[in-house]
Amino acid sequence: QVQLVESGGGLVQAGGSLRLSCIVSGRMLSINPMGWYRQAPGKQRELIATITSGGTTNYADSVKGRFTISRDNAKNTVYLQMNSLKPEDTAVYYCHRLGTEYWGQGTQVTVSS
């Protein structure tokens, strides 16, 4: 009974910031490796950031330099700090344990012009 629960989404103006959180609970030995995905209406779900057990991070070109993925293992939480947000960042953002069927419910991020 593994659960991933995202929070922190909302409505923000272009240029603003949001921080998403993903709390992992249940039968999970580690929060790593973890990834953040997003899906905009009419578009394919996109992997935008990953973090490995060793702390190595990778980012999609669309968010590199603006978004930062991090973790706090003591809190079983993965974060996505999003800065300099653009309207094209508007999407539902999902937390995912890579290589598993475990996904969060998604949190809506809307960036206005």
Q: Quick one: pLDDT at residue 55?
A: 87
Q: Which range (18-32, 42-56, 77-91) has the least confidence?
A: 18-32
Q: Counting beta carbons within 10 angstroms of the beta carbon of residue 88, is it exposed (0 to 12), middle (13 to 18) or buried (19 or more)?
A: exposed
Q: Work out the burial of residue 56: count CB atoms within 10 Å of its CB; fewer than 13 is exposed, 13-18 middle, 19 or more buried.
A: exposed
Per-residue pLDDT band for 79 (boundaries 50, 70, 90) equals: very high
Chain segment 40-59, per-residue pLDDT in tens = 999 999 999 999 988 899 99
Written as six digits, the tokens of 41 are 């209406």
Question: Are the beta carbons of 34 and 50 closer than 8 angstroms?
Answer: yes
User: Confidence band (pLDDT; 50, 70, 90) for 30?
Assistant: low
